[in-house]
Chains A and B, each alone.
Chain A
């Protein structure tokens, strides 16, 4: 741990001497500030990690980080919007938020973000620029958010009941028909559910390149036609005949544990290992992906334009990006969230810690598919709700 810190400091000094003066000023400003970090609070592993990071920020930088646990990031977007509409242009209630995708796009388009700041962080030099850390669902981040972790859509099953899992959309349809009522996916607009729909869209659409452009009605109609045909076929064999859907991935994990479902879904290839350790899944659970690849993305932290503790938020974001914090986050016994740093730039001890694995985690290489442009999300969700939202 010590070694990695030293290495991080050494690297930090090497990369960003030019910004040193500015940065020490930011650090001075940050001292004594309270940072309200609005982040999804639905996983104990995540909450425990944020609590650790907050404690470190207090002792190292004198910043008081408070984790505001939320269930849906769209609520935070709404909060910032309402505050700005009410004329509260400074002293807002959100200092830092965990965000990506269409929520980021809404904030950025609405001029609701502070920045650019992310690429001025001393630890930016450690970031692996080969990962998609400068675009978020095809929307350029332009320094308005700092990368925090990587995610990839992964499926979970129980080897005691499902030794041979489905490996593609077509496979899944056959699997579902063979196991009626035991397959489902979270209801979109839950982000796991929306991602499942996007995954099927990527597999079935005639021309994937279209999905990287902002959506148009004509492009939407052509690109999504096979998707709806597929879902129309799939739904009758789903849990409760596809008339209703689980509310979240977490609910699906529970149903998988009890044998109500044969498959669950996650964005963290290591989550199954965590769930086994906390006795939420049986030890025979395992992770798998599709042969053709699954959607992967990066999640970020951003600062609203009316944040009160902008300096404190930047210093904390920089800490989250440090080798030590990223190594700990990637540790499968802590959280197991993929790092955004270039692993080769890290000390060997950190590399070993990051590469550690545990029973249940994704043990195979699954190609990563890029997210469609953020504008597709709302269009897909609206159309899905129109077709299947009320049956």
Chain B
């Protein structure tokens, strides 16, 4: 009775003129996005206009380095992306649904929280000619000196491709896990299986055709990252010449304006490469859609390939990277071919500088917490057609964007301030958060919202009390991703902070110029600890908040 009365009263209160999201809502949704993107536009003009000159392109064409730089960039990014997709897809097809998939999911946060730079450092410690792998072999075959291997910094960028493949396969598995956690998807698997189709068949006929379009943006982001990565390329990529992204970074930071313009022009080449590849992928998806075999009704017996333990090496590399970093951080004397350090000490930890750690913590918290309401409001009421615009920072090479941001901050006299630093991070934190959340958000069963609205909730209250609580798990995961993205930012921190704020990432890269692996290992581990804590907290909070609700777990 009281309930009905309240509903009636609420309905009697003046409401928004339209039930559909009106213009004010859309404005509200677009405002934070405009604050993040708007000021960038004049900055981009100031930073990139030097490239609009034919002589700059001529100079670039004559430069001896760029064709090979482009080659190693293409090999590392294309191969890395393909391998990452292949490994993630194979693992999902083999093990979802199942006990192993669950344990995979639980182990992912540790691996995901290893930032790219730290992972590259650890992998280098493993596979370099003086690394752990070679030391193990040397132990048995009595080598006196390191072997003549070209396992890192090879001219084709193969080691960089390997690093990207491993690192990004974890990211894709994480995305897949979020999508596969949805009720709608798991019901389809049950349905397919109960109709007698094998697991592989169900995957091929039902799940992949639905999942592929939704995985398009994450895969493109992975590819774009591989194209424009600088920190990993410096550690594992070729040096003579470096990858195109590293070369551009070199040019853009050169005092010579002609070389800066060449950097701007070369970053446009990256963009063209990316567009070409995106179009190719779209064509491929279109072809697959056309040739999608209609389920012929033939049930094939399950060919169990579960003996294929692909996840073992994939996870082992991750653990070995963390282990070798831990060992280096406490090592004393440790020269080739010693398998283990001569002695251990906590000296490097005692001397470690913790200031970057705290800066990173507040910065990443501010960036991810500021972005969360913006992401939710945008996904709910923002103009859907403009989502692609939000993804631009993920697919445009980071360097010109950072240069544009810096030009804007200079004109506003805001560089070197905390506000500027947080703002510069939002440009990458926001799209990654949208990207993580959009899948679960789109897959949300709209009938629940219709019911809520039919029972008299305003759009705002329906979101607050029905939609967002149900989406709690992906929302918390999104928050953790935003945090991790902020922690890993190197170039924006360096430019916007004017060197006045030091994060664990800038500190680690600055230290990587020196050769002391102990100090480097300490900073790399601190860089790992922050996102790891965020992912762990997000998972724990989701579990705790959903402990009485079967569908939320």
Contacts and interface: CB of A to CB of B under 8 A. Distances in A.
A72 B499 CA distance: 13
B513 A42 contact: yes
B240 interface: yes
A44 B332 CA distance: 16
B168 interface: no
Interface string B210-241: 00000000000000000000000010001111
Contacts of B204: none
A88 to B, nearest CB: 6
B499 A68 contact: yes
B254 A74 contact: yes
B335 A282 contact: yes
A42 B514 contact: yes
Interface in A177-206: 181-182, 187
A72 B514 contact: no
A187 B241 CA distance: 10
B240 A390 contact: yes
Contact of B336 (A82, A93, A245, A259): A259
Nearest to B519: A44
B208 to A, nearest CB: 41
Contact of A243 (B130, B240, B411, B513): B240
B259 to A, nearest CB: 10
A168 interface: no
Contacts of B336: 257-260
Contact of B253 (A75, A250, A388): A75
Given A69-B507, A253-B515, A389-B241, A88 B413 contact: yes
A260 B68 CA distance: 26
A233 to B, nearest CB: 18
Interface stretch (A33-41, A127-135, A286-294): A33-41
Interface string B230-258: 00001000111100000000000111000
B240 A245 contact: yes
A287 B183 CA distance: 68
Contacts of B255: 74, 77-78, 81, 103, 106
A295 B516 CA distance: 26
B513 to A, nearest CB: 3
Contact of B500 (A93, A258, A280): A93
A93 B239 contact: no
B287 interface: no
Contact of A82 (B234, B241, B406, B515): B406
B36 interface: no
Query: A38, A77, A259: which has the most chain B beta carbons within 10 Å?
Result: A259
A69 B512 CA distance: 12
A389 B254 contact: no
Given A74-B253, A93-B500, A260-B145, A44 B516 contact: yes
Contacts of B64: 385-386, 389-390
Contacts of B507: 69
Contacts of B517: 254
Nearest to B250: A189
A262 B239 CA distance: 20
B152 to A, nearest CB: 10
A144 to B, nearest CB: 16
Contacts of B68: 390
Contacts of A388: 240
A93 B46 CA distance: 20
Interface string A34-63: 001010111110000000000000000000
Contacts of B407: 82, 86
Contacts of B509: 71
Contacts of A81: 255
A245 B241 CA distance: 10
Interface string A300-313: 00000000000000
Given A74-B254, A260-B129, A385-B65, A279 B332 contact: yes
B448 to A, nearest CB: 52
Nearest to B509: A71
Contacts of B238: 244
Nearest to B146: A260
Interface string B22-45: 000000000000000000000000
A248 interface: yes
A385 B251 CA distance: 13
A40 B513 CA distance: 9
Contact of A259 (B144, B333, B499): B144
A169 interface: no
B150 interface: yes
A51 B500 CA distance: 15
Nearest to A83: B410
Nearest to A42: B513
A391 B253 CA distance: 24
Contact of B150 (A240, A257, A259): A240
A190 to B, nearest CB: 10
B240 A41 contact: no
B157 to A, nearest CB: 12
Contacts of A70: 499, 510
A167 interface: no
A71 B153 CA distance: 20
Contact of B513 (A86, A248, A254): A248
B65 A280 contact: no
Contacts of B46: 86
Given A72-B253, A81-B255, A257 B335 contact: yes
Contacts of A386: 64
A231 interface: no
A172 interface: no
B373 to A, nearest CB: 32
A278 interface: yes
A135 B500 CA distance: 31
B317 interface: no
12 contacts: A42-B511, A66-B500, A78-B254, A82-B406, A93-B415, A240-B150, A244-B155, A246-B239, A258-B335, A279-B332, A280-B516, A390-B69
The 7 closest A-B pairs by CB, nearest first: A68-B499, A42-B513, A250-B515, A258-B130, A93-B498, A258-B336, A42-B514
Interface of B: 46, 64-65, 67-69, 129-130, 144-146, 148, 150, 153, 155, 234, 238-241, 253-255, 260, 332-336, 406-407, 410-411, 413, 415-416, 498-500, 502, 506-507, 509-511, 513-519
Interface of A: 36, 38, 40-44, 66, 68-72, 74-75, 77-79, 81-83, 86-88, 91, 93, 103, 106, 181-182, 187, 240, 243-248, 250-255, 257-260, 278-280, 282, 385-386, 388-391
Given A43-B514, A68-B500, A87-B411, 20 more contacts: A41-B513, A42-B514, A69-B510, A71-B510, A82-B410, A83-B410, A86-B407, A244-B155, A245-B239, A250-B513, A250-B515, A251-B515, A258-B336, A259-B146, A260-B129, A260-B130, A386-B64, A388-B240, A389-B240, A390-B67
